[in-house]
Amino acid sequence: MRFHDRRHAGEELAVRFLDRSADGDLVDTVVLALPRGGVPVAAQVARALQAPLDVLVARKIGVPGRPESGIGAIVADDPPLFDRGALEMLGLSEDRLGADVARERVELRRREEVYRGGRRPAPVKDRTVILVDDGVATGVTARAALRHLRKREPHLLILGVPVCASGTVDLMGREADDIVCLHQPSQLRSVSEWYDDFDQVGDDEVIETLRRFSPLTSTG
């Protein structure tokens, strides 16, 4: 089943989480979106669960000359997480990617400031944390985000995505306590192939979505 757009994907994902909530295992939940594409998806999950919504800004480190192909990722001030196998296969080193990391770190901080506007991140310690994106292919960005969240000591850490490559699900399972994924294709060339409408999400949409949830988010 393809999704009409990210909102539709979020609605379908929310149904799965509502089933989990009915079992009573989602307590003191906060929903975190990986912007920008994860925000419209996460908004539907947060709305269904009546949970706070916030963003966790992560930035992909792309292959030189092919920025769309992720070879690493950064979150907050954490050291970059690299796909070691991919680095070796491409004959790259972390040192060679230092300038790329620095550039993405600047953009990460810009987005944190723009999206949050000085607001502190939603607290996650001892809470059920649901990390949401619009899809996962190689998974390096999601892995970096999950590792960052694990250090903040959530009670339960769940990755929620509409689609994830089946081979990547196992990698995610090493980082998250649970994974809620609607589709696990054996081959996933691009997340966009699962959507009829996969237009880029802009900063304004992210800011407006967070603004609508601000009364919930501010209660933490």
pLDDT in tens, 7-24: 999 999 999 999 999 888
> What pLDDT is stored for residue 219 in this prediction?
40
0.85 exceeded by pTM: yes
Positions of the chain with pLDDT lower than 50, given as ranges: 217-220
Distance of CA 120 to the CA centre of its chain: 18
User: Tell me: the pLDDT tens digits for 119-137?
Assistant: 889 999 999 999 999 999 8
> What pLDDT is stored for residue 113 in this prediction?
95
Please state at what angle helix 38-49 crosses helix 6-22, rounded to 10 degrees.
30
Task: List the Cα angle 80/141/106 in 5-degree steps.
Answer: 55
